[in-house]
Structure 1
């Protein structure tokens, strides 16, 4: 049985010899399938209509290894948890259950990002050491979802699944993934973020990354300034400081203000707002950007002074 391992994880485990600029604190693994995903997400290299390299997910390369070797080498990476990404294909659930059985003796908590499954399957995952589920909503706009996702699972299906995950695993254990830069407005993003938190889910933000061979290969990623604005607004919603209706928007429904002064925000916003947000132990280094660029999500917390610099640039 083969399993894909993210390039940085493979280096940390000693499966590949290369340099790392930031060490992953989570082991990122992905199911292996000789074919494309059943879904056709416009941004994804794994999509059924994509011409992209199947060894990629976002901008990361995921080489394949024998699962027994990966299990043997995982302790060498000193990881805090395992994150298992999945591609949707016939037999996926059986493969995930087999992988969880093989990974269980390592004693590490496991997160699984997967398309909707039934509650019985979620209970099986939980019994095998899974404590968080990633929900790939991805598109923050109900208006754009059918076009961009072109999925077997509707917008409503994804929210129902989110509710099932919360029922089985508890509040805060469903991580709703949202990709910024797919054509959505800021108002749509914040309304979706607010919906997730109102039902007991968490939100993990990603920046759209154009990949050659995908339907959106020629689209542009979001500006860092826009992404920073959304990160600040996300934090204010998450902490209950503000709701979408409290923010200021321009005529195109993009953020124009936070309803608070710069001085108030400096005292409220911690620097970890600009780091990766995911399951405990997740830092996901350079998932959306090249190492020479300022990351959308820092793998480690920047200094406190960075908050003021960001606010100076976005207000």
Structure 2
């Protein structure tokens, strides 16, 4: 049986010889299928209408290896977690169950990102050692959702999230949100508020344009907006959403009086031990999500920049 391994994970495991700029703290794996996903999400390289390479997800290459070889090499990576990504195809669930059984002897916590499944499937995933579920909402706008994810329904994703919280507990459903798909800042904040109100968490991604996808000509979000959205997500998580100042549908600023903003606000936020190095950006550029804690001076400079723009 084959399983895909993200390029950075494969380097950390010794399956590929190359230099690591930031070591992944989670092993990122993906189910193998020799064709495209049965779904047609507009931004995804795996979408059924995509002309992008089969071994791509976001800007990362995912080479395939024999499962036995992967299981044997995983301890070399000194990972704190396994994260199994899935695409939809006939027999996908059976493959997931088989993989989880193969990973159990490693005694690592496991996250699975999967499209909506019934409660009994979630309960089986839990019995097989899964403790977090990633929810591919992706589009933080009901207005745009159907056009960008035509095979899914907005309410279906939220119902699925509630099932996960019910089975796994609060904070164990991690909703993936991609910034830069045409959504407004207000829609992002409303999505954050809905997620945290039902006991879910939110993990942010920056849109990455990929040649061969329907959105190949869409530009990624600028870094300034992304930083503001990261701060807004953290404020909503902490129950401080009223400190976000909206100017129409855009974030106009923040009332941060008496609030100590920690550096982790701008780092990768997801399941425990997740750092996703350079998933959305080229290594030569400042990352949207730092795979490590930025220096405290970075926070100070960011807040100074906000003030210089006459933002509170």
TM value normalised by structure 1: 0.96
**Pairing of 1:137-156 with structure 2 (within 5 A):** 137-151=137-151, 153-156=152-155
Which residue does the alignment assign to 1:218? 217
C-alpha root-mean-square deviation of aligned residues, in Å?
A: 1.0
1:23-34 pair list within 5 angstroms: 23-34=23-34
Whole-angstrom distance in 2 between the partners of 1:236 and 1:115: 28
Alignment of 1:1-315 (within 5 A): 1-151=1-151, 153-243=152-242, 247-251=244-248, 253-258=249-254, 260-261=255-256, 264=257, 267-314=259-306, 315=311
Q: Post-superposition shift, 1:128? A: 0.7
Unaligned runs of 5+ in 1: none
SS of 2:38's equivalent?
coil
Unaligned runs of 5+ in 2: none
- 3-state SS, counterpart of residue 142 of structure 2: coil
Tell me, in whole angstroms, the C-alpha distance in 2 between the residues paired with 1:136 and 1:43: 12
Which string of whole-angstrom CA distances, capped at 9 and with x for unpartnered residues, describes residues 3-36 of structure 1?
0000000000000000000000000000000111
What SS does structure 2 have at the residue aligned with 1:237?
helix
Q: Which runs of 4+ in 1 moved over 6 A?
A: none
Partner SS, residue 143 of structure 1: helix
What is the DSSP-based 3-state SS (H/G/I as helix, E as strand, rest coil) of the residue aligned with 1:268? coil
Q: How many residues align?
A: 307
> Quick check: 1:225–1:313 contact (8 Å CA) kept in 2?
no
Deviation at 1:257, TM superposition (A): 1.7
Deviation at 1:268, TM superposition (A): 2.1
1:189-216: per-residue Cα shift (whole Å, max 9, x none)?
0000110000000000000000010000
Q: Residue by residue, what CA displacement relative to the aligned partner does 1:208-231 show, whole Å, maximum 9, x if unpaired?
A: 000010000110000000000011
Deviation at 1:89, TM superposition (A): 1.0
The whole-number CA distance in structure 2 between the counterparts of 1:234 and 1:202 is 10
